[in-house]
Amino acid sequence: MPATATGGYLTASATRLDTHAGAHHRFLGVKGIAGHAHVTLADQEFTHLGDRADNFDEFVTTTLATIDKAITG
């Protein structure tokens, strides 16, 4: 992903990743997904990357709780 004059590469790259995730959701469906989330330095909201975590610790904690719930019910 080439860098932009005002935002570097981060926002453009995350936007592409969000678009790609949306394509996967349409193609594969979301029925079997236990949960999905993301953490990023970009300030914008993303439609297809799941819930936004404010920091990496929150992301890891939420992900582990989702896995535990999926395994133990």
Residue 2 located in a structural domain: no
List the chain pLDDT tens, one digit each, 73 residues.
Answer: 666 666 677 888 888 999 999 999 999 998 888 888 999 888 888 999 999 999 999 999 999 999 999 999 7
* Domain count across the chain: 1
pTM score of the predicted model: 0.74
Residue 1 located in a structural domain: no
Q: Structural domain of residue 47, as residue ranges?
A: 10-72
Residue 5 located in a structural domain: no
Residue 3 located in a structural domain: no
CA atoms within 13 A on the CB side of 24: 14
Do 34 and 25 meet the contact criterion of CB atoms below 8 Å apart? Answer: no
